[in-house]
Every structure is written in C-alpha cells, then in structure tokens.
A and B are shown apart, each in its own frame.
Chain A
C-alpha cells in the first residue's frame, strides 16, 4: 500500500504550493504612519480608506520617531538589586538569544553574601585581562565591611587591577561601555556599576601602505583601529598640544570619530567648523571615512574632491603640523585632513624626503601627467578632426596611413579604447589575486596587439591610451585621479565636437568651477588662485632650509616654521637660532 502511494506520488502531478519559499512582507508600520500612532488609529485608517487608493509611498519619518531598540524607560539608572539589573540587561541585549553577550556571576572574595555579576561581549574583550580581573576579585579580594551602597567605589579604588576604571550608573553609559569592549561589574545592593577597560579584539597590525607607496620615507600605514591610528600620529608628533577630541557618529553603529589638531597651531575657527560639521551629522551608520567625507565636504556636486584622505601617518602629521585638522574614523585606514587644496592632492610628501632637486623634477613630471591624464585623448581628436595642419606632414601622413584600414570614425575608435581601458582597470582591481596574471595577458595582447592587427584601432591610438593611462596612474591621490578620469570623457566630447575651441572652453569652465571651490573656507586652488606668498612647496620644491613659513592660506596661529637661518652651523647662523 505504502509503496503504491509513493509510486503514485512520483508519477502524478501536484502543484507546488510553496513556490516562493520565503517572502519578506512589508512592515505594518511602514505602510501606516509611525510607530507612535498606536494600533487603533492604524486599524481605523486602513478600514476607512480602501487599500487600492493608497499611493505606494512611505511617509518619511523623523529620526525621533524611529525606535532604535532601546526600550523607553529602561535607559535610566541601574537599580541596587542585582536581579533587577540582570533583568534589564537581559531585556536590553535580548538575552538569552544573543549569544555574544556573556553575564558571569561570581561572589566577591569567595563570600556568598556578596553576589556580583560581570557583563561583557565575547570577541571584543581580552581573555587574559578578564581572567586576571576575576582572579583578583574572587580569590585575592577581602570582602569589605563597608556600606553596600558604596561597594562599587571601594572595589574600584581598592580591589581592581584594571588600568582604566570608572563608575557609571545609567544604562545608557553601561551599554556604551559594554558595546566598545569594556566589562561592567554589578554588585548586589549597590546602585552603581564599575566599567573596567578590557578591550581586545581581532585587528590587523600596522603594515606597509597599500595604495600610497613611497621609496624614501616612513613605511607605516594606518589600520582600522582608531586607537592605533591616534597612537601612530602621537608617535610622530610628541607634543602636549596635540589634541584628540572624540565624537560618536551613527545612531546604530555608534562609531567613534576622532578630530586631531595642534592646539597652539590650528586656527580655532577651523577646528570649531570641523567639529560643528561632524556633530551635526545624523545618520545611522558610519562605515568608512569616505562616508564622513561626503557628509562634511563643501561641494558635493563638483567632481573635484575638497578633502584629502591618506593612509600614511607621516603625511597626516605633516598636515597637522601645518595647522590643518585630521579626522579619524574608527574602522577606516584612511584619515581625512582638511582643508585641502588641489596642489596638496598632487603631492606625496616623498618630494620633501628626497633632496629638493629630485622633488622638483618629480613634481613637474606629475604636473605634465596631470594635464595629459584628462586632455590627451581630447587633444588628439581635436587635431585629427579639425586641426590637421598643426602636425608636421610626415606625422599626419603616418596617422592617416594607420587609420586608413580602420573602419570606425576617430571618435568611436577613441571611445572604444578608452572604455576598454576603463574595463581593464576595473577588472584588474576586482580580479581575485590568484588570477591576477590573466588581466595582463588580456590587456596587453588582446587590446594592444590583436586589436591593431584586426584593424579595429590604429596603433597610434593604443600608444595614446597607454600614455593617458600611465599619466592617470601617476596622480597620487585616488579621488583626484578619479575625477580626472571622468573629466577625460567630457574633454573627448568637447574635442570631437568643437576642436581646440571646445577644449579651451572646457578648460575655462573647469578652471572657473575649480577656482570657485572652497575647502573649509580655503580656496581649492590656493596658493595660485588666489595667489598667496607660499611658493616653497607648491609645484617646485625649495630646499628645506628655505621653507620658513607655513601655508598662509590656512591661517595658522603661528606662521613661522623655522627661523630665517635654520642651519645654525653656517657662517653667521649660530647667533640667530632663536
């Protein structure tokens, strides 16, 4: 009988009723008003108005209306009864479902009357520190005879070996402490808790910079840990005026953001403006400094970046020493510095570590690369399409001869190659490391050799695209290079439509728009537009002993970097070393 049934089931048709498996239905309160409106009103609204007439549109809710998970009324102070505190913790963290949060019961000094509880998060805390903590509290502590209400203070002062200890009483502070890896201790009969610093999570060590490599100079890079990053900076600037201020951004992620500056150097108005912008941000998560950059920059609609991001501590230190402000976001190995100018985004810092002649050479080379990276394809098109007479006859004949077999117009040819190049770039970035060599073969053989042999593009264009690509890689700041990559296509369009006239009009508009940019009140093209007296470290690098002044456009509190004669050993230099 059973066998027959199974057989029939195998050969007969039955409709699959569970076709979709899982459907994520819309929330009830997403459809109807906010959570505060209550069930009755919501039901009334749905029954009164027919569903079909409702627009598919969710009313934006103000942040105050959104419930971020903290039950109302539970953010108040801790109670003196241990059981009540435990209940509150269980409710707040969703215990026992939430397996990361550990509540550990123990008796202070092995005395059963002193019931205590520790709360911490597994994975964020250092196990050896925790072990030492429990050892001290359970084995070596003498149960005190003091008033139970003052137990927390006594434990903190007399019994705990932890290095950063503080007393807290509100659940808001308790949650904040536990969430960043501290251990919070509750004692029965005491309305206050003790937070002990036990942070210790898995993280990457300090490594070599990945995107900003230099030959001469420090080879350390920032990591994802905020404290390590501030430490890296403080290691370079050993100065009591170096100030680190903390802010918390992101209502859900509660990401710490640090602002670092030299108190006696950075312009207070600048520091206040940076702090004002960071404090004003209302968002739910801050995953990288790139997000913060977009939230605090002056001109989000212009292609040019107006904030500098770098992963090298020595560069950030040099910015802080000029009077700028550094912004470090926890979890991001890129530190922002503001204000930023375009010239600064074309520097690497290495020019100063090398001798000044080499630095100057590299900077001029980079200036040429800067222009080539967005102008070259457009100029080529303008010359080939409109201004053939500009080229010497032999060269134009060579180009024409090469182009003879190519079936496309020049503009299609250029766009084809540029798009392929952009594809190689993107694919080369995303390709898994083990397959890395494939991209070289694809790029070099297929797009170079084979495309020319198949008469899809002319050889001169391959050279041109390669040079443009090289020039664009020579630009040290990724965001700036990115903006120029996009500008390149605008100049291709202008050059192919209007020749040199189009390109010069594009340049004028580009320059006017860039000259209009401001980064935290500082013109983006400073110190050339507007012209200030700083010339020692813009395109040409002056010898280090000539760099007597800090950049004027940042308006630091102290403009002088070093006295007129900084080399005390030269003739007449010794008596001027004030």
Chain B
C-alpha cells in the first residue's frame, strides 16, 4: 500500500484552493474576458455550479468504496481492461496539466522577469522543484502550501487594494456583456475545467476520506472561483475589456499598473514570488497525482520510482509546442475539453456501471 500521510481539513482545502487558483496567473483570464466582455466576472458562476454538481457526483462514486481512491474504483466498476484504459486517461490528463503548466509558467516568467534566461533553465528548475515536492510526498506539499498560502492570498488582496484608485465602474457596463449564453453557457463549460476534482479524488485517502471530500471541494471551489471572479472584475474595472483582451498575462499586467505614490510602484517583481510558488505547488501536485495514479493502476507498493520517468516525460512534452500561442491554443482547444472527461464524464460512467451491475445482479437472482 502506498504511504501517503494524512493532513487536516484546513490544509486539504487550502491545497486544493491554491491548486485551483494557479490558472489565474496564466493567460487564462484573458480568454474569459474575450468570452464575457464587460461581464467576464460572471463567467465563473456557471463553472462553480457545474463544479459543485461534479464534486457531488464524484463524492457519491467515492462513497461506493470508502477505503480506496478513484483509481481502484474505476477498475472495480469497469473491469481491468476498460478500467485501466480509463485510469490511463486520468494519468494522461495529469501529465498534460503538468506539462502545459510548466510551459506556460516558464513562458510567463520569461515575459515578466527573466527575458534573457533560456526557457530550458526555468523549466528545469520547475521540474526539479516538482520532483522534490512529489518525492517528499503530499504531506510535505500540503504543509508547505499551508505555510505559503497567506502570502499568495495576501498578495492578491494587496493587488486589489492597490488598484482601487484606478477602477472605473463604467467599464462594467453593459451588465450582461456579450449575452447570456457566452457568459453562463460557454463560461460554465470553460471555467468548470479550472478545478480538478479528479485530483482530489485521487488524493482522497490523504485528505481525510470520502466523507470529507464534498466539504473540501466545496470550500476549495468557492475560494478559487471567488478569486477568479474578483480578479476578472478587477481586470475589467482597471483596464476595460478592450485592453484586457490584449494582454497575454493579465495578472502581471495588473500588478504593473500599481502606482501608489512615488515609492510604491511597479511591484510586479513581488508578484513573481507569489506566482512562481503557486506554479511550483501546482506542478508538484500534478506530478504527484500522476505518479500516485500510475502506481495505483500498476498496483505498485511505492510511487517514488515513477516520479523520475514521469518528470522526464513532462519535461520533454513541455518543449513540444513551438511557442506560447501554440501552448495557449493547446490549453484552450485540447486540455480544457479533455479535462471534462476525467472530471465529469468518468464519475457519471462509473455510476452508470454500478447501476447496470446492480440491475444485472438483481435480474440474475
């Protein structure tokens, strides 16, 4: 059995929330502004609803077998061949999240802070930290997240307050921006991919079991979607939707806008510390998720031997897209639709499989 360690409810919520918040620091919010226009801040509402329903379905699935994780449950529900196929899809999902984040965070850092550093150096550092974090285990990642989250959320709050003098409330009009369907329909479809409820389902034994799963995801999603919504609002309020759609890194652009007197200005370098830490947490967490899922699929007693090869795969994959626009396109067109398979489709299929099995058993008897 894989030793994962245990941690408390608060740590689990914070870990999941920080993991979900990570996307905010990337070009992602720009896409939402494009989608929703002046009402971009409403787009997460639909996503939150979808996430909560998804998390509820996932918790129902997890309660079918409270001693195991989603990996074992999938195999139990579909049998070994189909189950392993589904588990490999989940693992592929974690690896794609991991490598796209490595690439996007590295590109973001080059844009924001280290223009002359080769991307391989930054990606190597990220992978190294990811390897270290996943080697130390989920307990160490959760505890270090618990120790650093104050600075992450403190930084976001500081950013908001420092920008208030530049807010123009006219920018929020028209209230429903590009219309209901883009905001609540497409918005829900897109933002539902922000949370990785499948990751929490893989870590369910470490975060306190199936009973606490729903509560953890509820609060984590609430925090993440609030942050996303508030930042989108701040983005539109400060820059207006036209300028906001032109920035590739909206969060970075916002922090550059800070001007509070002569001394306190251009503090974006401070925010580099915040996002690179969030990026490291996210990368370590997804790498850990991938290796633990693979170890559970292969029924290995330890996940650690898998970290190195998986890290290498992530490292190589992160260099496959030729440039940042391709990476972003991959993120939008491939990863986000793909995310719905393990996050929302898989639990539904498992429930259906259980239901069918139950019917057949009843029919047989």
Contacts and interface: CB of A to CB of B under 8 A. Distances in A.
Interface of A: 382-383, 386-387, 389-390, 392, 498-505, 507-509, 511-513, 515-516, 523, 525, 528-531
A529 B143 contact: yes
Chain A interface, >50% SS class: helix
B262 A511 contact: no
B266 A507 contact: no
Given A500-B113, A516-B140, A528 B147 contact: yes
B113 A501 contact: yes
* Most chain A beta-carbon neighbours within 10 Å: one of B10, B141, B280: B280
A434 to B, nearest CB: 47
Given A504-B276, A531-B8, 6 more contacts: A387-B113, A499-B113, A501-B109, A507-B273, A508-B280, A530-B11
B80 interface: no
A511 B147 contact: yes
Nearest to B110: A501
A502 B129 contact: no
B294 interface: no
B164 interface: no
Nearest to B275: A504
B7 A515 contact: no
Interface in B253-279: 262-263, 265-270, 272-274, 276-277
Interface in B105-146: 109, 113-114, 117, 121-122, 125-126, 129, 132-133, 136-137, 139-141, 143-144, 146
Contacts of B113: 386-387, 499-501
A530 B143 contact: yes
B13 to A, nearest CB: 11
28 contacts: A386-B114, A387-B269, A389-B269, A390-B269, A498-B114, A498-B121, A498-B125, A499-B114, A499-B269, A500-B269, A500-B273, A500-B276, A501-B113, A501-B276, A504-B277, A505-B126, A508-B129, A511-B147, A512-B132, A512-B133, A512-B140, A512-B143, A512-B144, A516-B136, A516-B137, A525-B143, A530-B11, A530-B143
A515 B129 contact: no
B68 interface: no
Chain B interface, >50% SS class: helix
A318 B146 CA distance: 29
Given A386-B113, A530-B143, A501 B125 contact: yes
Contacts of B284: 512
Given A501-B114, A502-B125, A511-B144, A530 B7 contact: yes
Given A390-B266, A499-B114, A501-B114, A508 B140 contact: no
Nearest to A523: B143
B129 A505 contact: yes
B276 A512 contact: no
Contacts, number: 110
Contacts of A389: 266, 268-269
A511 B270 CA distance: 18
A512 B277 contact: no
B227 to A, nearest CB: 19
B226 interface: no
Nearest to A390: B269
A513 B131 CA distance: 12
Nearest to B147: A529
B262 to A, nearest CB: 6
Contacts of A511: 144, 147-148
6 pairs of A and B residues whose beta carbons are closest in the complex: A515-B143, A387-B269, A529-B143, A504-B273, A511-B144, A516-B140
Nearest to B266: A389
Contacts of A505: 125-126, 129, 276, 280
Contacts of B45: none
B10 A531 contact: yes
B284 to A, nearest CB: 8
Contact of A383 (B133, B148, B269): B269
Contacts of A512: 132-133, 136, 140-141, 143-144, 284
Contacts of A509: 129, 132
Contacts of B280: 504-505, 508
Contact of B144 (A499, A529, A531): A529
Contacts of B143: 512, 515-516, 523, 525, 529-530
B11 A531 contact: yes
A148 B132 CA distance: 74
A440 to B, nearest CB: 36
Contacts of B314: none
B281 interface: yes
Nearest to B125: A505
Contacts of B270: 390, 500
Nearest to B129: A505
A363 B332 CA distance: 48
A323 B22 CA distance: 41
A499 B113 CA distance: 8
Contacts of B272: 387, 499-501, 504
A530 B133 contact: no
* Most chain A beta-carbon neighbours within 10 Å: one of B129, B141, B143, B263: B143
B148 A508 contact: yes
B147 A515 contact: yes
Interface string B16-46: 0000000000000000000000000000000
B251 to A, nearest CB: 15
Contacts of A525: 143, 147
Interface string B133-176: 10011011101101110000000000000000000000000000
